[in-house]
Amino acid sequence: MQSGRTTFLSIAAPLCVALVYVVLFFKPWFHPATSSSASSARLSADEAGKVWEDSKSLFAAGKYEEALPGVLKLHENFPGNHIYLEMAAKIYGQLGRPTEEAQFWEMYLDRAPDAHDACPRLGQIYHKQGKEKEEISAYERCLAREKDNPDFIYYLAHALEMAGEINRAGELYQRGVKLSPGNSDVVLGLARVKLRQGRAEEAKVPVLQHLEQAPNDVDALLVAGLIYSREGNLAKAKEYLERGVKLSDGYMDFHFALENIAERQGNFSEAVRQYDRILQDRPNDEGVRAKRDALARKR
């Protein structure tokens, strides 16, 4: 009799697990982690299902303001369900409300089985808000979820590079290159770090190799120009930088680099011209305007 009971349990247990998976997949408003709250929820399972379908339809139609109350109601009833957190974050994103969007992506990152929907979006929000520490923390948590994801490695490395943590950024870029040697983002990132570390010759080889395969990669053209500029080969630097400007005139880093070269060559008229181009895009940048005016007096 005991063996018969054991056999029944061995069959029933996996069937129960399978049933829970099916319910979760097709009915996101059911969530075992929140069953206690759901039992006292103001929405029944049927009501929640209708609210969810209506909210999805409104979102698909671009009616974000109308979709939001239903999704927030579902989150209130089932706070552990990451599907509603994701939808709320996306709605706030469409509405241009980054603070609320970040709050929901934070909850999503804590509760969802994977990080893909929150990454890199959460870090990008913090970057736009000028929250450097929060940006780095978001990317660190993304990478902790998927340690060998080259994209997540790049996002964290780039944030650290911008924050001036060059050595740590370089270690991550190096790791990214080993995992994905064809990934131009990590290849160029590592080259930039080596350049800042005074290792221009080491930086040059992979950049020039990459340009042989992708001659119109503006990021690579910029790095190549900066490398030659650092080495003092200003003519070669200008060649790469001017190619980049022709491809992407709105990429201000090219104009800053060309201004620097013009100033070093004593060509103040050209330096002023580059600053004038920068001010077209940044008319309120008083620092640039002051430098431009100081050089104009030297012409």
CB atoms within 10 A of CB 68: 21
The domain spans of the chain are: 46-131
Q: Output the six-digit token pair for 252.
A: 């201000």
d(CA 166, CA 67): 44
Lowest mean pLDDT among 14-23, 69-78, 83-92, 195-204: 14-23
Between residues 32 and 72, which one has the greater pLDDT? 72
Query: What three-state secondary structure class fits 57?
Result: helix
pLDDT of residue 28: 57
CATH class of the domain defined by 46-131: mainly alpha
For the chain, the distance separating the N- and C-terminal CA atoms, rounded to the nearest angstrom, is 102
Per residue in 223-276, pLDDT tens? 999 999 999 999 999 999 999 999 999 999 999 999 999 999 999 999 999 999
- Which pLDDT score is estimated for 42? 83
Torsion sign across C-alpha atoms 11, 17, 20, 21? negative
What is the residue whose two structure tokens read 């603070």? Answer: 99
pLDDT at 97 over 70: yes
What would the two tokens of residue 231 be?
């080495």
| 59 within 8 A of 83, measured Cβ to Cβ | no
Distance in angstroms (rounded) separating the CA atoms of residues 85 and 104:
6
Give the model confidence (pLDDT) of 268-294 as tens digits.
999 999 999 999 999 999 999 999 999
- pLDDT-wise least confident of 65-69, 70-74, 82-86, 113-117: 113-117
Nearest to 294 by CA among 250, 265, 286: 286
Question: Is residue 143 very low, low, confident or very high in pLDDT (cuts 50, 70, 90)?
Answer: very high
The Cα–Cα gap between 42 and 52 comes to 15
Q: Whole-structure pTM over 0.75, yes or no?
A: yes
